Structure 1
Amino acid sequence: MDIPTQIKQHSCMDCLSGQSLGFEIKMAFQPIIDWQQQEIFAYEALVRGAEGQGAGWVFERINDDNKYYFDQSCRVKAIETAARLGCDTLLSINFMPNAIYNPDTCIRATIEAATLYQFDLEKIIFEVIEGEQIVSQNKLKRIFESYARHGFRTAIDDFGAGFASLDWLHSLRPDILKLDMSLIRNIHQEPASQQRLAEIQRACATLGVVILAEGIETVEERDFLVNAGVRYLQGYLFAKPALEQLLTVEQIQGWA
């Protein structure tokens, strides 16, 4: 596919301006907990409007004409903001597979931003954005392989809720698998969810994939997951996403 001239000319500074989107974006950060080490494992960068409007408000303004630039802008804004805030953990960035026409070409602005803001490329996790309709498993596999060559980690988001299945897990072999909140909700009371978790854990253990449970809202959910051997946790029990702020361990609830 030919690369449009205006895309060739984009740099990470262009992405920061947001002018091609017609509106400004900011980033909120939600901590991901390493329960075993009792520390912050990573922060997930989540897009917001200039005044903190939610992701829904932002995505209402995204279409086929601007989704490529939006995807690039989110990556650059996440890296710039995290670096400015002094992020020294892993940084998880959502991406839109259908906005990527060539993985190696589309990663250019990300590498440029990481270099400019002195953010370690090996600290970046790219996860498939929730709700994104995947057209081709092979395309996503090529994207994951390209990102791995550049030193990035990869993650499948919302596993069990949408396109992803154990077949996809074996094909894509991400570094991290994020369990959908529909599986997590009241898991301490749902034998079917518990059985599903055990199946996923067995598959991930075989493939060397790390499991991360997101959407945790209660102590009971947290305790069941911890006792089941899930090490990495994320959800409102610990903290909601904070606009342009990296919450510290002291500011995070849900430890006790």
Structure 2
Amino acid sequence: MAFQPIVDIAADRVWGYEALVRGMAGESAGFVLDQVDPDLVYGFDQACRVKAVELAAALLPADPTLKLSINFMPNAVYEPNACIRATLAAAGRARFDPGRLMFEFTENEKMRDVPHLRRIVSAYRERGFTTAIDDFGAGYAGLGLLAELRPDVLKIDMALIRDVDQSATRRAIVAAIVAMAQAIGIEPLAEGIETVGELETLRGLGIRLCQGFLLGRPVSAAA
């Protein structure tokens, strides 16, 4: 696993870290997931959660306000309460406060069963976990799923963030997403920030939570 900071630019502090699976030679999450047999996706998803919690407990500051964000594959979560039990057991063994956990599901995986995903999100909320939609604006789900699920955090895809300081079209789209999210009580988070110009434009649009190479690259647990 590697960890990348999420920064609260209004408070000038690290808000949390996203755990990202990596290959033994540093290969990307996409490369690793492509190697997983479809019949083993559920077990792999569980193993990644456990490893992320174990490493976070050992490596990250013991700050009760610091979030650990873990990606999950909605179509691999067969029974949310069983998945939660495994996660809570790992947190208990590692003495990691489960209230610090945020679970992100990506729009890039087509949702085969939206009612099932709604049950997953509801089960996570009941346990006090934070929930987030990842890669918003680049995948399958769109506004319909946002209205159905009402996550706590909305991560705006880097394709919309790239050169937002130089593109009036991108600025207008991001501004509309931010206004919509804030109007329904969802925290917008900009990901993939690479330049000071992008960061300052996003600050001006009212975005508080930011993530990207400009603020910190993913660092492997080994480092």
Out of 44, 68, 71, the residue aligned to residue 94 of structure 1 is 71
- The structure-2 alpha-carbon separation of the partners of 1:205 and 1:86, relative to structure 1 and needing over 3 Å to count, comes to closer
**How far 1:245 moved relative to its partner?**
6.6
Alignment correspondent of 2:113: 136
Identity of aligned residues (%): 48
CA contact (8 A) 2:57 2:94 kept: yes
Q: CA RMSD in A?
A: 1.5
**How far 1:49 moved relative to its partner?**
2.1
TM-score if structure 2 supplies the norm length? 0.94
Alignment correspondent of 1:78: 52
CA contact (8 A) 2:182 2:188 kept: no
Out of 187, 196, 199, the residue aligned to residue 210 of structure 1 is 187
CA contact (8 A) 1:91 1:123 kept: yes
Unaligned runs of 5+ in 1: 1-26, 247-256
**How far 1:131 moved relative to its partner?**
3.0
CA contact (8 A) 1:34 1:233 kept: yes
Q: Please give the alpha-carbon distance, in whole angstroms, between the structure 1 residues aligned to 2:188 and 2:73.
A: 21
User: C-alpha deviations, 1:89-108, integer Å up to 9, x for none?
Assistant: 10000001111111112221
Alignment correspondent of 2:208: 231
Out of 153, 167, 192, the residue aligned to residue 130 of structure 2 is 153
- The structure-2 alpha-carbon separation of the partners of 1:207 and 1:237, relative to structure 1 and needing over 3 Å to count, comes to same
Alignment correspondent of 1:60: 34
CA contact (8 A) 1:85 1:245 kept: no
Output aligned runs, 1:128-207, within 5 Å: 128-129=105-106, 131-207=108-184
CA contact (8 A) 1:166 1:200 kept: no
CA contact (8 A) 1:28 1:243 kept: yes
Alignment correspondent of 1:42: 16
Read off the aligned partner of 2:18 and give its amino acid letter. E
Unaligned runs of 5+ in 2: none
Alignment correspondent of 1:16: none
User: C-alpha deviations, 1:209-250, integer Å up to 9, x for none?
Assistant: 00000000111100100011100110011121000179xxxx
Q: Please give the alpha-carbon distance, in whole angstroms, between the structure 1 residues aligned to 2:193 and 2:60.
A: 26
Output aligned runs, 1:236-255, within 5 Å: 236-244=213-221
CA contact (8 A) 2:7 2:16 kept: yes
Read off the aligned partner of 1:59 and give its amino acid letter. L
**How far 1:191 moved relative to its partner?**
1.8
User: C-alpha deviations, 1:128-178, integer Å up to 9, x for none?
Assistant: 146322212222111111100111110000000002322221210000000
Larger Rg: 1
Alignment correspondent of 1:112: 89
Aligned partner of residue 165 in structure 2, secondary structure = helix
CA contact (8 A) 2:124 2:131 kept: yes
- The structure-2 alpha-carbon separation of the partners of 1:106 and 1:173, relative to structure 1 and needing over 3 Å to count, comes to same
TM-score if structure 1 supplies the norm length? 0.82
- The structure-2 alpha-carbon separation of the partners of 1:154 and 1:178, relative to structure 1 and needing over 3 Å to count, comes to same
User: C-alpha deviations, 1:1-29, integer Å up to 9, x for none?
Assistant: xxxxxxxxxxxxxxxxxxxxxxxxxx100
**How far 1:60 moved relative to its partner?**
2.4
CA contact (8 A) 1:170 1:207 kept: no
Read off the aligned partner of 2:147 and give its amino acid letter. H
CA contact (8 A) 1:29 1:245 kept: no
Q: Please give the alpha-carbon distance, in whole angstroms, between the structure 2 residues aligned to 1:71 and 1:55.
A: 12
